[in-house]
Amino acid sequence: MIVVFGIFIILHGLVHIFYMGQSLKLFELKPAMIWPDESWAFSRILSNATLRLFASITLGLSTLGFVVGGISLMFKQAWSQPLLIVAGGLSTFIFLVMWNGKRDSAVNQGGLGMLINLAILSAVRIFARFFFV
């Protein structure tokens, strides 16, 4: 079961690469999607180029954290728990602050990913004694 959960975490982390590509304008995840350009938190104080760079770096770090955390979880390394908590928190933070503030577009802007992050964070905390025996 730990291996399956670890693989799920790794795959969840790799999905962040798609949003990283979107933020770098390498491709569009959805036609006319401009994420993260209309961030409710930063668009008034930072340029779109700065927003995209900040989102890309943060998403890259989240990807790395989830992938390494998932692998270390499969090998029952105790340090995977804090790593996954940081990766999940960082991912949730970036999707929350880069969201454009419109409820109808939350799913396309990481809303589902934030729910998955919360589920991963909860599972890591709740089942820690089973993962790291």
pTM of the model: 0.90
Place of tokens 């350009």: 37
Q: What is the mean pLDDT of residues 46-51?
A: 93
Q: What pLDDT digit, counting tens, does each position of 81-118 carry?
A: 999 999 999 999 999 999 988 777 777 788 899 999 99
pLDDT number for residue 68 = 98
DSSP for residue 128: H
- Domain coverage including residue 107: 2-131
Find how far residue 21's CA is from the centre of its chain.
13
Q: What pLDDT digit, counting tens, does each position of 15-35 carry?
A: 999 999 999 999 988 888 888
Number of domains in the chain: 1
